[in-house]
Structure 1
Amino acid sequence: MGSSTADAAAPETTRPRPAVPRGYPWLVFALSFGLLLSDYMSRQVLNAVFPMLKAEWLLSDGQLGTLSGIVALMVGLLTFPLSLVADRWGRARSLVVAAVVWSLATLGCAVSASYGEMFLGRFMVGVGEAAYGSVGIAVVLSVFPVRLRATLSGAFIAGGSFGSVLGVAAGGAIAQEHGWRWAFAAMGLLGLVLAAVYGSVVTEQKLTAAARAYGAAPGTAGRAPLRTLLPRLFSSVSVICAYVGSGLQMFIAMALLAWTPSFFHRYYAMDTADAGFAAGGFALLGGTGMVLGGIVSDRLSRTAPVRKWSVGLTCSLGSFLLLTTGFHLPPGPAQAVLIALGTLVASGTAGPAAAMVANLTPPAVAATAMATLTLANSLLGLAPGPAVTGLLADRTGLLGALQLIPWVAVVSGAAFALGRFTYPRDLRRLGLLPDTALAPVEPRT
């Protein structure tokens, strides 16, 4: 009898209470975003000091490009396996370890005495940064409702560009005043401080409690055997076209990001600091292009999802025309405007490509699909972009190399065109419906 009375009064007293504060998910987002900024600042500070390293160590443009490209190469090679390790070992502690590794490696770059030592330092920066993007966004999404996933994902992607801006601009300014070694040291110390704060605030226990209180139900894809996951990531022509098209556009975007400071230094007679700030503005345009491309793609494809492919194709061919024309003009305002527009448009394929991959892969393997897209972006674009541009610059001069690089957009455009053609057929064959039919149902709380 007493139990029935107690049950009647129970709703207010026995209702589960969150074990973490209501604002905790946003704190997780802020700290994860801060580490993302540190990630890209440590990666891109090198580009701001290219002229100083070239002069001090008598390096070729090919060697400079390799120092930049090795980070992206390691990210591409290790993203998938390290993401699987993080799912099993613990995402929060994996992120802390990763941040410590890339920060210590950046400090190692600051004390490098030769090209070989710098290359080793950059190699380890890539090892530390390898899985941060996929694991970091998985942590953030786990503590928020499903309805916020698109917004948070877009902000996270753009955060890479903002970190690149800060890395190039701040790195250039610090190097100008105190030398290139202090530019690396500042980025490494910042990363260590953020890693310490993150480790003390974000724990596996708190993430689990926040996910139960505010987020979505945990997925099971990370526990599925590889033999069942891998075929589903490459199960259609159109999803492969999305990987290829996105990766090749990233080739152009990363080549521009890596060599814009040197371009302004050599052809506009800017000092290191001014060239870094100018290049930072162009990197910001790249991030803006990612956001705008996703917004335009979603708006145009509300009634016809195939239009996402049209946005990708338009961005590819638009970047080819703008950049090719711009780099053939003499230095001046007209050239700068066309290159700026080309940079904006070239990055516009990031959002549509990610959406197409999500539409063409089952929700159960969505995180793994994003890691695969990251792999394609790294191996096809982020790693070879700076290195190939540097090798071409050794033979044709930097301007000649930058005149050739936009032709890659013709191939990416062809990939998007083929994907557009096969997309409806692939959706029917896979039994998948685009957009709303694939949107996961928000869990009840």
Structure 2
Amino acid sequence: MTDQDSEVQAGDRAPSPAPSSPPAPVPGVEDGPAPADRAPAATDAAPTDVAPTGPAGGAPAGRRFPLWPLVAMALVGLVDQIDVSVARGVLPILEDEWGLNDTQLGFIPAVFIFVGAVATIPAGWVADHYRRNRVIGWTLLSWSGLILLSATAVNYVNLLVARAAMGIGQAVDDPASTSYLGDSYPSRMRARVFSFQQVSFFLGGGIGLAVGGAVGEALGWRWAFALVGIPGALVALAVFRLREPRRGEAELPETMTWEEIEALPPRSVEVERASGAEGLSFRQFARLAWTELVGQLKLIFGIRTMRYVLVGVAALLFTVSGISTWLAIYHERYSGMSVTQATVFTGGLLGLGGIVGTFAGGAFSDRFHHRWKGGRIVIVVWSAVICALLFMASFAIDAVGLRLALQLLGVTAAAGAAPGLRAAMLDVVPPDSRGVGASAMALATAIFGQAAAPLIVGGLSSLTGSLVAAFYIVFPPVIAGLFLLLRARHTLEDDAQAIVIAIYEENQVLEASRAELAAPPEA
């Protein structure tokens, strides 16, 4: 991608629609799109880089997709991950200052992730019901203040409480930004879009880890926490200025101009949500939210493909979280590095490998996933398996240079799985449920993957007396879980269509429930 004219390249403009299947008209717009609240078809089409043409092959018709929303969401992910990873960078310092063992160290990142996982489901509901730019902006401002609590912690318990409070912030940002990007860019571009966003997670993880170690060793770990809270406030101001996309906007025909989209009548769900909780008591509002959440979660967790996906994705994130949490401590203990050297080298591995792997994985997924049945799943599985095998090999090698090279390749492989995974999830979740859909996946993967990894690896390290032994114990089950994910390729297509139909049927039931709750009580 380039930022010429602050827009996506001309090659990423909309493809011409097939003449044999014109879109259904919308009142007030000639030859407009089908109704936006109709369930989108679950397709797995290859990306098309053909620009539409106007009459007689003239200038390109339709709309182009600006880069700025993507850049803004990438910055949100960047500052989030810097704030998250700075704690990992100061773990060796906290170990010495407070005399913590590996199990106690594992709780510091785990409590952040666990609290965030619990909060992510209601956060997804918020993302589906309110303006996402404001949700993200206010969360970032709050986040910048909360990180100061970590800097002022006087003991281990205070620090755990402060990190738990920060976990709520990331829980809100992730589903809101995922939903925002899903409505801003069409399916054919989503793997590349999410590669741009996801690279910020790896880059932010590397920066946070390096800053935590270097600043923590030079000035003290409190300064490391205090300094990384500033960028979030600046990004929040930029997010407030973003345009809020229409729900399902990316599913509208790409030949429509922005002016035609703005002229469309509001969707019924948007009219209803624009009024927020007006006319409902707090009890009615809580009942409504709970009804929607339970219905959506039962639906999502009841799909066979989603069960495979959740197990496999938990295995993937277990690998990534275990590596990112403990790798700096591993190099300090086994590679003869100081705290600063270990965190800087580990940060470099995560940053460089994340950048290369995420961009390459996004482009590869968009370009080649249609060549295999369930192609996005195949790419995710083999990327993560290669990562685990490379890291297991690196732990058996004494040469530090070769060890670092294998680990760099491993991080690159793991990063290549991330964009295709997000794109596959968005391809099967309707626009009005993308926040809750992202949250449901985040809940399962965070508790069983991201939160479990620091604790399990740390506990096994304390039990065996060896961090390397802990890694060797956990990697084989992780690989088995990834191959379970591979089974999803055989059920993905049918279940994707079933998800779309079932969610829209569930929405009809929820609409009736909403009307019943909002009705005035009988005299």
Residue number among 349, 357, 360 corresponding to 2:425 in the alignment: 357
CA–CA separation in structure 1 for the residues paired with 2:220 and 2:294: 50
Residue number among 99, 112, 129 corresponding to 1:71 in the alignment: 112
1:146–1:215: 8 Å Cα contact kept in structure 2?
no
Deviations 1:27-84 (A, max 9, x none): 4444443232111111000111111110001011111111011111122211121121
For the pair 1:293 / 2:361, whether they are aligned, the reply is: yes
Q: 1:231 to 1:151 in 2, by over 3 A?
A: same
The 5-angstrom pairing of residues 148-163 of structure 1 reads 148-163=189-204
Deviates more, 1:213-222 or 1:189-198: 213-222
For 1:348, the equivalent position in structure 2 comes to 416
For 1:233, the equivalent position in structure 2 comes to 300
Structure 1 residue 167: Cα displacement: 0.8
For 1:48, the equivalent position in structure 2 comes to 89
For 2:463, the equivalent position in structure 1 comes to 395
The 5-angstrom pairing of residues 116-135 of structure 1 reads 116-135=157-176
For 1:406, the equivalent position in structure 2 comes to 475
Q: 1:188 to 1:214 in 2, by over 3 A?
A: farther
Structure 1 residue 400: Cα displacement: 1.7
For 2:442, the equivalent position in structure 1 comes to 374
- For structure 1, list consecutive stretches of 5 or more residues without a partner in the other structure: 1-21, 433-445
Deviations 1:255-306 (A, max 9, x none): 1011111111111222222212111122121453343333333333224342
For 1:207, the equivalent position in structure 2 comes to 244
Structure 1 residue 173: Cα displacement: 2.3
Deviates more, 1:411-420 or 1:57-66: 411-420
For 1:5, the equivalent position in structure 2 comes to none
Q: Percent identity?
A: 24
For the pair 1:137 / 2:204, whether they are aligned, the reply is: no
Q: 1:215 to 1:320 in 2, by over 3 A?
A: farther
Residue number among 486, 500, 505 corresponding to 1:417 in the alignment: 486
For 1:440, the equivalent position in structure 2 comes to none
Q: 1:112 to 1:290 in 2, by over 3 A?
A: same
TM superposition score normalised by structure 1: 0.81
CA–CA separation in structure 2 for the residues paired with 1:272 and 1:68: 18
- For structure 2, list consecutive stretches of 5 or more residues without a partner in the other structure: 1-62, 250-257, 274-290, 502-523
CA–CA separation in structure 2 for the residues paired with 1:427 and 1:192: 39
For the pair 1:188 / 2:225, whether they are aligned, the reply is: no
Aligned length: 407
For 1:61, the equivalent position in structure 2 comes to 102
Superposition RMSD in Å: 3.2
Q: 1:265 to 1:92 in 2, by over 3 A?
A: same
CA–CA separation in structure 2 for the residues paired with 1:104 and 1:214: 41
Q: 1:93 to 1:309 in 2, by over 3 A?
A: closer
CA–CA separation in structure 2 for the residues paired with 1:308 and 1:24: 24
1:232–1:361: 8 Å Cα contact kept in structure 2?
no
For 1:252, the equivalent position in structure 2 comes to 319
CA–CA separation in structure 1 for the residues paired with 2:430 and 2:67: 28
For the pair 1:319 / 2:360, whether they are aligned, the reply is: no
Residue number among 197, 201, 206 corresponding to 1:165 in the alignment: 206
- Residue aligned with 1:185, SS: helix
CA–CA separation in structure 2 for the residues paired with 1:252 and 1:178: 32
Deviates more, 1:362-371 or 1:53-62: 362-371
Deviations 1:358-417 (A, max 9, x none): 454455534432232222321221111112111111122222222223223322223123
CA–CA separation in structure 1 for the residues paired with 2:181 and 2:492: 30
Structure 1 residue 120: Cα displacement: 0.8
CA–CA separation in structure 2 for the residues paired with 1:111 and 1:235: 44
Q: 1:214 to 1:35 in 2, by over 3 A?
A: farther
- Residue aligned with 1:112, SS: coil
Q: 1:213 to 1:387 in 2, by over 3 A?
A: farther
CA–CA separation in structure 1 for the residues paired with 2:217 and 2:132: 38
CA–CA separation in structure 1 for the residues paired with 2:137 and 2:402: 45
CA–CA separation in structure 1 for the residues paired with 2:111 and 2:199: 22
Q: 1:289 to 1:144 in 2, by over 3 A?
A: closer
Deviates more, 1:390-399 or 1:357-366: 357-366
Q: Which amino acid aligns with 1:349?
A: A
- Residue aligned with 2:123, SS: helix
Structure 1 residue 311: Cα displacement: 2.2
